[in-house]
Amino acid sequence: MDFEQNDNLSSGHTSDSPGAIGADLSEPVKPAGQVPKGTSGWKIFWGIVLALSILANIALFLMMMGLLMFFTTSQRDAFEEGVIREGPRSAKIVVITLEGVIHTEQAKDVYEQIRSARQNKHVKGLIVRINSPGGTISGSDEIYNEIRKYRREEEKPVVAFMQGLAASGGYYASVACEKIVAEPTTITGSIGVIFGHFILQELLEQKLGIQPVIITSGPKKDWPSSFEPITEEQRQYVQDKLISPAYDRFVEIVADGRPMLSLDDVKRLADGSIYGAEEARDVQLIDEIGYLDEAIELVKSLAGIEKAKVIEYRRHISLASFLSARSRNVLSIDRDKLYELSMPQILYLWSAY
């Protein structure tokens, strides 16, 4: 009896306990905590990959910072020469570009191009290529002054080349040049001044329920105002203080730049009319009708040279200039912008533009 009970207990223990004497010994027993073979090798491999990745990212970051510093510290007003017509390097004609509505930034760009031409001893003359409806009075006058200053100080010929449109302030800049050549399809003229501003009173008071409060030290301090209709007295005030002086200067500038025209001739032409190329030549607002090649030949003739390399200045593309251009293109309405939009403006601008 006792032996049978012991046998039963042994058999029961064997079936319930995997580590018993009767267990299958064909599978090796793995000690607890032991890492399988091959796992440590993969850990080393991925550790090396991670370290290399970190080093590569650090190197890339340092390289990007270096490029960022290089581009942002480079001169934004630096130019490179673009060749328009091949020729000897010892004799160059520079094409200065004036394009779009004239404003302070446009005048600054023309100034920088002329300054680059001053620094090149091989430059024999300039062509001012104009495609503009005009713009602000100050911007137009600044460009005019820079061209006249270059002619006076460098004693080199400057020819205006009208390409498509050179009206109002565009013509103002043209008469600073010694000669004027216009393409056959050019629109020019529009000698005169235009003034305009918005009357916001009805919009603010009746549509939006806004009542402006303006306190001035004198009755003419806010003439003309965007918050009330303009009166005849205010019209005459603007005419006497703004329109007439600007108009008189424009007429004098044209008479000085076109000596074949008397002051009375210019006043007769300066009624704001636009002129095609042929009509402008007939009334002596321009000298020739032609294309860029004719303007080049005219500069060579005035400079007394037979051959020349014709170049233009192209601005270097830098990160700073790119970001600046992007920021200008983003629509931003702030207090200064609202003030600029509501402020009356007096312009040398062809209004049809």
pLDDT of residue 344: 63
Q: How far apart are CA 100 and CA 134, in angstroms?
A: 8
- Mean pLDDT along residues 120-143: 96
- Mean pLDDT along residues 309-335: 61
Average pLDDT over all residues of the chain: 81
- Mean pLDDT along residues 256-264: 96
- Both structure tokens of 317: 């593309």
* Alpha carbon distances (Å) from 226 to 197, 203, 345: 7, 11, 12
The dihedral formed by the CA atoms of 303, 307, 309 and 310, expressed in degrees to the nearest 10: 60
- Both structure tokens of 137: 């009075």
How many other CB atoms sit within 10 Å of the CB of residue 298? 22
Catalytic residue list contains 43:
no
* Residue that the structure tokens 């630096």 belong to: 78
Q: What percent of the chain has pLDDT over 70?
A: 75
- Mean pLDDT along residues 223-244: 88
Taking only the tens place, the pLDDT of each residue in 269-280 is: 999 999 999 999
Least confident of 148-152, 182-186, 210-214: 210-214
If pLDDT is split at 50, 70 and 90, which confidence band does 5 have?
very low
- Walk me through the domains of the chain, giving residue ranges and CATH numbers: 79-317+338-349 (3.90.226.10)
pLDDT of residue 80: 84
Q: Which of the following is catalytic: 116, 168, 174, 225?
A: 168
Catalytic residue list contains 168:
yes
pLDDT of residue 68: 66
Looking at the predicted structure, is the pLDDT value of residue 180 above 60? yes
HSE at residue 216, side-chain half, CA atoms within 13 A, is 10
More confident residue, 175 or 81: 175
Taking only the tens place, the pLDDT of each residue in 54-97 is: 887 787 877 777 666 655 544 444 678 899 999 999 999 999 99
pLDDT of residue 325: 47
Q: Which of the following is catalytic: 11, 17, 53, 221?
A: 221
Contacts of 185 (CB under 8 A, 6+ apart): 164, 276, 277
More confident residue, 335 or 60: 60
pLDDT of residue 208: 78
Least confident of 208-212, 239-243, 249-253: 208-212
Q: How far apart are CA 105 and CA 110, in angstroms?
A: 9
Q: How far apart are CA 125 and CA 91, in angstroms?
A: 9
Peptide bond into 157 cis (omega under 30): no
Looking at the predicted structure, is the pLDDT value of residue 19 above 50? no
Ranges of H-type helices in the chain: 2-16, 39-73, 104-118, 137-154, 169-174, 201-202, 232-238, 244-257, 263-269, 277-282, 292-303, 319-329, 335-342
pLDDT of residue 49: 73
